[in-house]
Structure 1
Amino acid sequence: MTEQNTRLGIMLMVVTTFIFAVQDGISRHLAGEYNVLMVVMIRYWFFAAFVMTVAARKAGGLRAAAATAQPLVQGFRAVLLVAEICVMIFGFTLLGLVESHAVFACYPLLIAALSGPVLGESVGWRRWAAIGVGFVGVVIILEPGFGVFQPQAVVPLMAALMFALYGLLTRYVARKDSAATSFFWTGTVGSVAMTAVGAWFWEPMIAPDWGWMALLCVTGALGHFTLIKCYEVAEASSVQPFAYLQLVFASALGLVVFGETIRANVAFGAALIVGAGLFTLWRQRQRQKKAAR
């Protein structure tokens, strides 16, 4: 792994987080005007077409991409991801981008906490301490017991839990399946599941919003493409800390475009969550280095 490749990987991760933040902003706008399920369904139609096009151009074509010894797990993780996207976008309409992303930033800590029971990995006391600090940050953001706690603040926390489980299941299926196979199942099964639900909530859309929908579809495919390229040129442990920039970019969009505000407790809680998450990633990298010796 050369320094140049790592630098390129970091640049690609920064670009990816910016694209995903823009995608979240567009999703927030469309979900404020139309049913969330319909918006995600149309987005997934384009996503499915994208993954099938990518798979068809590789050796073995669609048959090779779809081949798996664990179809139930692959199918479940695909449905779990599309459900998480619906929940998160619903959270945008309730809380806005700033507070939703501040809470959602805890998902790497949830992955660390659940990696033991789900994958059988050991989690040391230092990482458990970091997980604890991160969840203190979540509690500070949610402000329970101060008379201003809103039940809808739990929505992005649910999305973070779902995304963490999706991430763990992705690592689980990677023991037998290639990334291309997992990507194929994510797009195709997610599209079928979303169509079965979203078709019942179809609403007519005005012409300008079809333009935003087209941009949403393009950013979705482009973001996944740059993310794949990012992991091709650099180790995940080197670029993963920069994924937190999505919180920064999405918050900036929320402030500038949607007129949201950042409350002091949200800023402090998010800082605790991100700090704990970065420490957890650092500990994971140290463990990987020791294992490689």
Structure 2
Amino acid sequence: MRNDTRLGILLMIATTFVFAMQDGLSRHLAETYNVLMIVAIRFWFFAAFVIAVARRQSGSLRAAARTAQPKVQVLRGVLLATEICVMVLAFVLLGLVQSHAVFVCYPLIVAALSGPILGERVGWRRWVAIAVGFVGVLIILQPGVAVFSPAALVPLFAATMFACYALLTRFVARKDSAATSFFWTGVAGAVALTPIGLWAWEPMTAPDWGMMLALCITGAGGHWLMIKAYEAAEASAIQPFAYLQMPFASAIGIAVFGEVLEARLVLGASIIVGAGLFTLWRERRATAS
């Protein structure tokens, strides 16, 4: 494995930009068509992509699928598929700006749950950072005001599911290779979504099929770039740049969908990102020591 931090950072920035475009395409299509159908089609393409990658990295599908923890691997895939459905619904209900402003708290949820789920030690400094980060979430959600909408909890629910997916990914990594986990992520999600997607099927216009193809390509392309980023550099060095997906997606929401960037979103998201970066720094120091 090479260690080119500069290349890894550039690849991670490209990854977040491609994923932000994917979010914009998801919102556009989900405003017209059933969310379940959109995500199912996306996962069919994604499954084909991960099968090709897994076969290349492992030599055969049997080798890629070999795991001592199939139930947990299936749970990971289903959890990610469900989380994507919920997050795309959040894009429709709240827009890209507010959805990402809340979703960006998922690293804090990972840090908070890493103790009870993985048995990792979380020191008091990280607990303080987690608490500060969730103050940022409360600033965004404004639960005490009369106009509070329960829809604001949708991206928070998605963030919690994604955090659980990330923790399960750490758990299976103790025994399975990255290629095996990648294989099960795509295949399990596609299998789970197939009957639901077919049930929710709606006719799609030719231009929107073009958008759907672009969505599938950006999804696979984003994951390919992410794989290359982690191959190029250490995860701890490039992970902070994953936060760039939020400003990229917000820019698309403002420029394309006419969304508004409110002061509370900027303040809350800044607090969350600051707390998240601190937890990443503390985790890196703990790992190094």
In structure 2, the residue corresponding to 1:176 is in which secondary structure? coil
Deviations 1:8-39 (A, max 9, x none): 00000000000000000000000001000000
1:66 aligns with 2:65: yes
Q: 2:219 is matched by which residue type in structure 1?
A: G
TM-score by length of 2: 0.98
Q: How many residues align?
A: 289
Structure 1 partner of 2:280:
281
Q: 2:236 is matched by which residue type in structure 1?
A: S
Deviations 1:231-270 (A, max 9, x none): 1111111001000000010000000000000111111000
Structure 2 partner of 1:211:
210
1:23 aligns with 2:26: no
Q: 2:41 is matched by which residue type in structure 1?
A: I
Q: Give the distance between the partners of 2:32 and 2:243, measured in 1 at CA.
A: 28
What 5-or-longer segments of structure 1 have no aligned partner? none
User: Once the 2 structures are TM-superposed, how far is the Cα of residue 55 of structure 1 from its aligned partner?
Assistant: 2.2
In structure 1, the residue corresponding to 2:31 is in which secondary structure? helix
Q: Give the distance between the partners of 1:100 and 1:188, measured in 2 at CA.
A: 27
Deviations 1:132-187 (A, max 9, x none): 00000000000011112110000000000000000000000000000000000011
Task: Map residues 176-191 of structure 1 onto 2, 5 A cutoff.
Answer: 176-191=175-190
Structure 2 partner of 1:80:
79
Contact preservation (8 Å) 2:12, 2:242 = yes
Contact preservation (8 Å) 2:54, 2:182 = no
Q: 1:85 is matched by which residue type in structure 2?
A: I
1:98 aligns with 2:97: yes
Structure 2 partner of 1:148:
147
Q: Which runs of 4+ in 1 moved over 6 A?
A: none
Task: Among all aligned residue pairs of Structure 1 and Structure 2, give the percentage whose two residues are the same amino acid.
Answer: 68
In structure 1, the residue corresponding to 2:208 is in which secondary structure? helix
Structure 1 partner of 2:245:
246
Contact preservation (8 Å) 2:43, 2:190 = yes
Q: Give the distance between the partners of 1:180 and 1:248, measured in 2 at CA.
A: 30
Structure 1 partner of 2:266:
267
Contact preservation (8 Å) 2:58, 2:179 = no
Q: Give the distance between the partners of 2:62 and 2:233, measured in 1 at CA.
A: 29
In structure 2, the residue corresponding to 1:33 is in which secondary structure? coil
Q: CA RMSD in A?
A: 1.0
User: Once the 2 structures are TM-superposed, how far is the Cα of residue 59 of structure 1 from its aligned partner?
Assistant: 4.2
Deviations 1:39-67 (A, max 9, x none): 00101111111111122334431000000
Q: Give the distance between the partners of 2:271 and 2:183, measured in 1 at CA.
A: 36
Q: Give the distance between the partners of 1:30 and 1:114, measured in 2 at CA.
A: 34
Structure 2 partner of 1:5:
4
Q: Give the distance between the partners of 2:66 and 2:112, measured in 1 at CA.
A: 31
Q: 1:265 is matched by which residue type in structure 2?
A: R
TM-score by length of 1: 0.97
Q: 1:156 is matched by which residue type in structure 2?
A: P
Stretch of structure 1 that moved more, 70-79 or 4-13: 4-13
Q: Give the distance between the partners of 1:175 and 1:58, measured in 2 at CA.
A: 18
Q: 2:140 is matched by which residue type in structure 1?
A: I
